[in-house]
């Protein structure tokens, strides 16, 4: 999935490989000439001297060829294993060479955890040093705090909040309550304290902008083609009537994609962009029932580096809102400071090439499961050798075979968490497509939550 051209390949110096074979050929030719003369019946004295001369040349050639052969054999044996051909990169020897000691335990940097009870929609908070989830008292509560909490949960905004009488929910909370401190203008993590009761006798019920859910649809067992509505946040970005990249719906008017997809297409070319949602086949994008959505604004991260692909993220604002349905829905964003553990099973989807030759581009949306690979392992010498920044993450297989490719860029890497799907990564770059020890590299969305919220807040229209 190299973004700048054909997949890269490593090839040994062909001239060096030809030298021993060239020497061996010369020696064999000389030996054949000698034996041809010896087999003849008309060899003269001059011929005998020629034979001795040729024999000497033959001996020197053989010795020289042997010496060169030994030299190349030693060089081959001493060659580091990462210089082997791609076919051998996934074997046992390579694994031992690239052995990376992983941290057995990764501490969660969060001090406060939030959830909304599915039974009664009550906001519950767990402070890092306590084992229980506690409801939140209504006093000092406001809608701004509700929006902040919803964003902590990966939802863009608050949709409803109210105080609920404790007498209406029964005696199910006996371990205490969480109350907002009087100095609640401080950081969200530091404004909570445990209390034995709520002065008002009310606790907070909360509803956030719904995201990350999909209709109950049948799966294709053992297949790789996605069914309609399976990934309802997936969109196709068309530029000049051609599929160019993928993207993910996060609100009715905003789509997340990769900066490298759009950074060369500023105004006035913005009118050439069209977004298609609620489709699984590209051919259906041109049908009357699937009218594309015009793009009003494109914002890509100002720190995007087109050489290293760092900060590879962008936002598209649609001119008219999407109508949500079973086939068009938003995906949740990750929670703050979310870092998917190594091995977490996630999914990618897109209409990109199914072969790295750039010829086989599918009409139907493809999907594939890929496990997250730790940054420490992905940055090892056998993979990307330090090229992975804190704003990137890797996912895929050491042996290759499953990966995103050209045309998938900007599309989603989603992981299921708390029964909802979250946009953990944006398809960004990689060396080749599905090559051994070169997994896909994705923009880590959790590192850009503040930027996303800031960009959307400027417009004040994120329904």
The catalytic residue positions are 260, 312, 409
Distance CA 107, CA 40 (A): 85
Residue 102 tokens read as: 């992983």
Distance CA 426, CA 404 (A): 11
Question: Residue 335 to residues 29, 41, 349, 410: CA-CA distances in angstroms?
Answer: 73, 93, 22, 20
β 366-373/392-395 pair status: antiparallel
Collapsing DSSP states into helix, strand and coil, what is residue 13? Answer: coil
Distance CA 248, CA 156 (A): 14
Neighbours of 30 (CB within 10 A): 18
Question: Do the beta carbons of residue 391 and residue 444 sit within 8 Å?
Answer: yes
Distance CA 200, CA 202 (A): 5
Residue 127 tokens read as: 């402070």
Question: Do the beta carbons of residue 176 and residue 192 sit within 8 Å?
Answer: no
């Amino acid at each position: 999935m190299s973004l700048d051209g054909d997949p890269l390949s490593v090839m040994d110096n062909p001239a060096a490989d030809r030298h021993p074979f060239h020497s061996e050929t010369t020696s064999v030719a000389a030996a054949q000439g000698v034996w041809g003369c010896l087999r003849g019946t008309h060899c003269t004295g001059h011929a005998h001297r020629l034979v001795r001369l040729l024999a000497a040349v033959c001996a020197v050639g053989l010795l020289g060829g042997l010496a060169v052969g030994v030299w190349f054999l030693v060089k081959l044996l001493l060659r580091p294993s990462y210089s082997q051909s791609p076919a051998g990169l996934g074997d046992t020897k390579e694994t031992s060479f690239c052995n990376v000691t992983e941290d057995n335990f990764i501490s969660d940097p969060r001090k406060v955890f939030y959830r909304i009870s599915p039974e009664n929609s009550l906001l519950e908070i767990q402070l890092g040093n306590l084992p229980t989830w506690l409801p939140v008292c209504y006093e000092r509560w406001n809608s701004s705090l509700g929006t902040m909490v919803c964003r902590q949960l990966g939802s863009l905004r608050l949709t409803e909040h109210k105080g609920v009488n404790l007498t209406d929910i029964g005696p199910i909370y006996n371990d205490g309550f969480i109350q907002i401190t009087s100095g609640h203008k401080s950081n969200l993590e530091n404004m909570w304290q445990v209390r034995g009761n709520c002065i008002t006798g009310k606790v907070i019920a909360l509803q956030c902008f719904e995201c990350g859910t999909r209709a109950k649809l049948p799966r294709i067992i053992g297949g790789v083609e996605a069914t309609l509505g399976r990934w309802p946040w997936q969109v196709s970005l068309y530029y000049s009537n051609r599929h160019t990249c993928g993207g993910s719906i996060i609100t009715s008017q905003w789509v997340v994609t990769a900066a490298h997809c759009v950074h060369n297409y500023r105004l006035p070319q913005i009118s050439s962009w069209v977004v298609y949602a609620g489709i699984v086949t590209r051919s259906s994008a041109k049908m009357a029932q699937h009218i594309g959505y015009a793009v009003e604004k494109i914002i890509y991260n100002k720190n995007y580096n087109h050489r290293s692909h760092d900060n590879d993220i962008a936002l598209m604002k649609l001119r008219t809102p999407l109508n949500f349905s079973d086939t068009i829905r938003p995906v949740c964003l990750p929670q703050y400071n979310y870092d998917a553990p190594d091995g977490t099973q996630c999914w990618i989807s897109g209409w990109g090439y199914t072969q790295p030759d750039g010829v086989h581009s599918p009409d139907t949306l493809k999907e594939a499961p890929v496990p997250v690979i730790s940054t420490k392992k992905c940055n090892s010498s056998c993979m990307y050798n330090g090229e992975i920044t804190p704003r990137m993450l890797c996912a895929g297989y050491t042996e290759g075979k499953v990966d995103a490719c050209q045309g998938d860029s900007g599309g989603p890497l989603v992981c299921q968490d708390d029964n909802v799907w979250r946009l953990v990564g944006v398809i960004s770059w990689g060396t080749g497509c599905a090559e051994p020890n070169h997994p896909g590299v994705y923009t880590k969305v959790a590192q850009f939550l503040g930027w996303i919220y800031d960009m959307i807040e400027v417009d004040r229209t994120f329904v």
